[in-house]
Amino acid sequence: MMRSGFSRGGRRRIPRNDYTSQSIVKTASFTLIGHEGGRTVRMNSGSANTLTVPPASQVPFPIDTFINVEQYGAGQTTITAGSGVTIRSRNGLKMAGQYAVATLHKIDTNEWVLGGDVST
């Protein structure tokens, strides 16, 4: 019988870390293409840029998909909705400034909620 946390032979297993997110770095405006779910999109641009959320007919992210967005560069990142997409946000769709972080959460077919360090 194995003890919890140990493999056969007594070596300690390294537990899977479900708290990490692989970053995708973009240096210009970008439209989500489907593999960003559960990841962080780091916008690293010195000039204003846009992150576009496409409709489900183009990129069918599953409902309850989360995507983190970081504005790493000095250029302001604006989150925009593709055709037929609604993005709901209490504070606007622009990242609040350099190093701002926000999260997109898909709640219905073409409906997302944006929350975090955003402004109008």
Alpha-carbon distances of 74 from 28, 98, 117, 119, rounded to whole Å: 12, 5, 15, 15
Domains of the chain are 21-119 (2.60.120.640)
Residues 57, 62: Cα–Cα separation, whole Å: 12
pTM for the predicted model, two decimal places: 0.83
Residues 5, 81: Cα–Cα separation, whole Å: 45
pLDDT in tens, the chain (120 residues): 444 554 556 666 555 556 666 899 999 999 999 999 999 999 999 999 999 999 999 999 999 999 999 999 999 999 999 999 999 999 999 999 999 999 999 999 999 999 999 999
Find, among 32, 42, 97, 88, the residue nearest to 69 by Cα: 42
